[in-house]
Amino acid sequence: MGRIVIAVYKPKAGMVAELKELMKTHVSILRSEGLVTDREAIMMQALDGTIIEVFEWVSKAAIESAHQNPAVLAMWQKYSAVCDYTPISQVSESQQIFSEFTPIS
């Protein structure tokens, strides 16, 4: 059974453009490793530049196996240079009943 996740990426100072570039290949890399489903990911941006992504892992086991996958680890290293992972609760828009974000294509 798939596992839908909400991932939150808070760009480091001056790194919004670099983060957006990485986001263009994030799910496709995971998909090429057989870790996520074909369900289309949804990406959006908060007012403070934080990027939120909703996507579906193939399974809980796929999430766990990503932590030993060389391609995923290399990708995550690039992400750590440009952003910090944060909980969705740290995004101010998430405190609203109907949270609004700017879509990213």
Asked if the model's pLDDT at residue 16 lies above 90, the reply is yes
> 21: domain range?
3-90
Report pLDDT digits (tens) over 50-68: 999 999 999 999 999 999 9
Evaluate whether residue 50 is within a structural domain: yes
- Give the residues across from 103 on adjacent strands: 44
Evaluate whether residue 99 is within a structural domain: no
Buried/exposed code over 56-72 (b: 16+ C-beta within 10 A; e: otherwise): bbbeeebeebbeebeeb
- pLDDT value at position 1? 83
Evaluate whether residue 35 is within a structural domain: yes
Evaluate whether residue 19 is within a structural domain: yes
Evaluate whether residue 71 is within a structural domain: yes
Label residue 105 by pLDDT band (50, 70, 90).
Answer: confident
**The domain that contains 84 carries what CATH number?**
3.30.70.100
* Number of domains making up the chain: 1
Is 0.85 topped by the overall pTM?
yes
Q: Cβ(16)–Cβ(48) under 8 Å?
A: no
**What share of the chain has pLDDT > 90, as a percent?**
98
